[in-house]
Structure 1
Amino acid sequence: MDVLSDVLAVMRAGRPLARRAGCQAPWGMRFAAGDAATCHVVLQGACWLIPPHGTPLALGVGDVVLIPRGDAHALTDRPGGSPARHVPEQDQDAPLGELRIPGPGATTILLCASYRFDHARPHPLLHDLPELIHLPDRVGQHPSLRAAVELLGSELRQPRAGTEAVLPALVDLLLLYVLRAWLDEQSSRPAPGWAAALHDPALITALRHIHRRPEHPWTVVELATQAGLSRASFAKRFTTVVGQPPLTYLTWWRMTTAAGLLRGSDASLRSVAERCGYGSEYAFAKAFKREYGTAPGQYRRQERAGGTRR
C-alpha cells in the first residue's frame, strides 16, 4: 500500500482544476483565502509571488510554488506592483480554464492549479507542510515533476480531443510530484512529523499495515512486531514523529475511511462498520458520532446533498 497516495485521497474534496493564464505587464492577480491548495508554475517569462507572510519571491521559468493551506496570496509582474485583479473561482464542471490579462509589456504565462482539500478534518500531513513550498527549476532535479509540468503545459497550450479527460490526472500528478520533491528534500533534515514518518522504515511499515487493514484489531504490540521494534520503542517513536499514539491514529484512519465509504459508496452501514473494524453498527455509530458529531446515516445524507448542490 502507498501511504502517500492514501493521504492524498483522504485530503481531497472534489476534482482538481487547472487554468492557463497569459499576463502582459503591468499585471497583478489576487487569490483569496479558501479551502483549496493552489499550485503555480511559470511556463514563460517571470513574475513575483506575494506570500501570505514574508518578502516577495521572484519566480522564473520552470519554478513551481505550492500554497497548501489555501492562504491568500498574489502574483504580479514586479514586487512593488498592485495586484488589484481578483481571480474568480473556476467552474467545478470545467476543469480547464483560460485567463488573459492584456497589456503593453512583457508576457508571462502561468499554469495555476487548485486542489480542494477537506479542511474540516485534514490529514496530519497538511499541518506539517510549510506555508509555502518553492521548488526552483534546477537542471537534473526532480525529473518526474519537470515531465508533469511539460505535459500539463502542452495540454493547456494546445487543448485537443481528450484534454478535459486527461487534465485532472495530470494535475493530480503535479501535486504528487511536488509533495514527493518536498519530502525528498526533508529526508536530509530530520524533524518530527509526517515527512520523517514517510522516511522511517519502521513507521512506514506500521502505517502501511494500518492503512491496508483498518478492520484488523491492531494492538500496539502487534504493530511494534510488524515494525521490528519493542513495544515501548515503537510507541514512543510513533507518538513523537507522527504526533499521535498508534491506536489514536488507527481510530482516526478508521473514521476517515468510514467517512469516505459513506460519501462515495452505497455500502450498508453494517458493511462500513465491518470494513472499519467494528463488530456492530451500534459501536460504529457511537464512535463515528464522537468523531464527526453526527450519526453515519445523517452524515451520508448531508454529504450527498452538499455534493449535489456543488
Structure 2
Amino acid sequence: MDALADLLDGPRARGAFVMRSLLDPPWSLRIADRAPLAVIVVTRGSAWFVPDDAEPTRLGTGAVAIVRGPDAYVVADDPGTPPRAIVHPGQTTTTPDGELLCETWDLGVRSWGTDPDGATALLTGTYEFAGTVSERLLRALPPLAVLDGDQVDARLLGLLVDESGRDAPGQAALLDRLLDLLTIAALRAWFARERAPRWYHAYADPMVGQALRLLEHNPATDWTVADLAAAVGVSRAALARRFTDLVGEPPIAYLTEWRLARAADLLRGTDATVESIARQVGYGTAFSLGAAFKRRYGISPGAHRRGANLTSGDDEPAMDLTGSGTDG
C-alpha cells in the first residue's frame, strides 16, 4: 500500500451524521461540533464557507467541500449574515440564545432547515469521532479543500442524496459506507491536483517512487540510505539528493515520519499492543517507540490511544503533507 492509498483508506465512518439542510435566505449556520472531518455538498443554490481566521470561499451548485476540523466555521447565504443556528458537539442545534432548534427546523427524514423548497440545499456528512479518520490524513489536508461537481462522480453524489432521505433497516450502515466512498473519491480528486503534497508527485519518479514504496511497504526493515540506494540500483549520493529534492526531506527522515504516523493510526485503529505495533513499524521495543512518539507528537502512545490529540514536538520536523509552498 502506498502513502496515498493508505491515506485514502483512512475514512471509516461509524454512525456518521448525514443531513440535508434546506434553507431560504437569509440563513447562516455556525458549525462548532468539533468534528475531525466533514464533507459538504451544495446540491442546490450556493453557499459561503466563512472560517474565523481566513477569507470566505463561495461554494456554487455542485461544489464538494472537504472541511478539516476541529475549528469552528460558518456556512451562510452571505458572509455578512449573522448566525441563526449553532451546531454543537453531538449535533445538537440551538439558536445563538440557546433555544433548541432540532424540532423547530425538522423537515422529515434526515432533513432540516427553514423551507423544504428553499433556494439552497446542502448535504452534509460528518465524521464525528476521533479514530474514524486517520490522524495522518487530517494532517495532510488544508482546513478547506473545494472541488467542482464535475470532479467527483455524480453517481456517488446522487446515491448519497437519495439514500439520505430514506429510513430503512440498515440505513445508517449504508450511509456510512456511501459517505466513505464519496469522501475517498473527493480526496483522490483533490490529491490529483497540482497542489497535492510533494510526495504524491514523487511517486512518478522511477528512482524516488521505488524508494518510497520500499520504505512504506517495509517499515520494520533497518534501512540505511546505502541499503535503500542498493535496492533501487543507484548511488547513495544520487538517491539522497533526488529524494530530498522531490519529497522535501531525506529518506531516513521520511521513514521516521512514516513509522510514527503508521503507529498513530494502528494505536487508534487496532487492539494490538504497543509492543506489537513497535515491532511492526520498525522500533524494537515499546519503550523506544514511546520515546520517539512523545518527542514527535508531544504525548505518549497510550494517551493517543485514549483519545488525546496529537501535537508537533520541537525536536523533529513534520513531513510536508500539506502541499503548501511546493512547486508541483
TM-score (norm 2): 0.71
Whether contact under 8 Å (2:22, 2:119) holds in the other structure is yes
**Residues 125-134 or 107-116, more deviating:** 125-134
Where in structure 2 are the equivalents of 1:138-157 lying within 5 Å?
A: 138=150, 141-142=151-152, 145-157=153-165
Residue in 2 that maps onto 1:36: 36
Secondary structure, aligned partner of 1:208:
helix
Report deviation, 1:200: 4.1
Residue in 1 that maps onto 2:214: 209
Cα distance change of structure 1 residues 209 and 10 upon mapping to structure 2, 3 Å threshold: farther
Report deviation, 1:68: 3.0
CA distance in structure 2 between the aligned counterparts of 1:157 and 1:286, rounded to whole angstroms? 49
Secondary structure, aligned partner of 1:111:
strand
1:182 aligns with 2:187: no
Report deviation, 1:165: 0.9
Residue in 2 that maps onto 1:3: 3
CA distance in structure 2 between the aligned counterparts of 1:51 and 1:218, rounded to whole angstroms? 43
Secondary structure, aligned partner of 1:40:
strand
Where in structure 2 are the equivalents of 1:83-232 lying within 5 Å?
A: 83-90=83-90, 98-103=110-115, 106-115=118-127, 122-123=135-136, 129-138=141-150, 141-142=151-152, 145-186=153-194, 193-227=198-232, 229-232=234-237
Residue in 1 that maps onto 2:246: 241
Cα distance change of structure 1 residues 137 and 276 upon mapping to structure 2, 3 Å threshold: closer
Cα distance change of structure 1 residues 212 and 291 upon mapping to structure 2, 3 Å threshold: same
Secondary structure, aligned partner of 2:82:
coil
Secondary structure, aligned partner of 1:185:
coil
Alpha carbon RMSD of aligned pairs, Å?
Answer: 3.7
Whether contact under 8 Å (2:43, 2:122) holds in the other structure is yes
What do the CA deviations read for 1:209-245 (whole angstroms, capped 9, x no partner)? 2222211112223333455543223323333333332
Report deviation, 1:153: 1.0
CA distance in structure 2 between the aligned counterparts of 1:34 and 1:207, rounded to whole angstroms? 34
Aligned-partner residue type, residue 57 of structure 1: R
Q: Which has the higher helix share?
A: 1
Whether contact under 8 Å (2:22, 2:118) holds in the other structure is no
Residue in 2 that maps onto 1:250: 255
Report deviation, 1:77: 2.7
Question: Tell me, which stretches of 5 or more residues in structure 2 are unaligned?
Answer: 93-108, 310-328
Secondary structure, aligned partner of 1:90:
helix
Secondary structure, aligned partner of 1:279:
coil
Question: Tell me, which stretches of 5 or more residues in structure 1 are unaligned?
Answer: none
CA distance in structure 1 between the aligned counterparts of 2:249 and 2:10, rounded to whole angstroms? 18
CA distance in structure 2 between the aligned counterparts of 1:87 and 1:216, rounded to whole angstroms? 47
Give percent identity, aligned residues only.
37
Aligned-partner residue type, residue 110 of structure 1: L
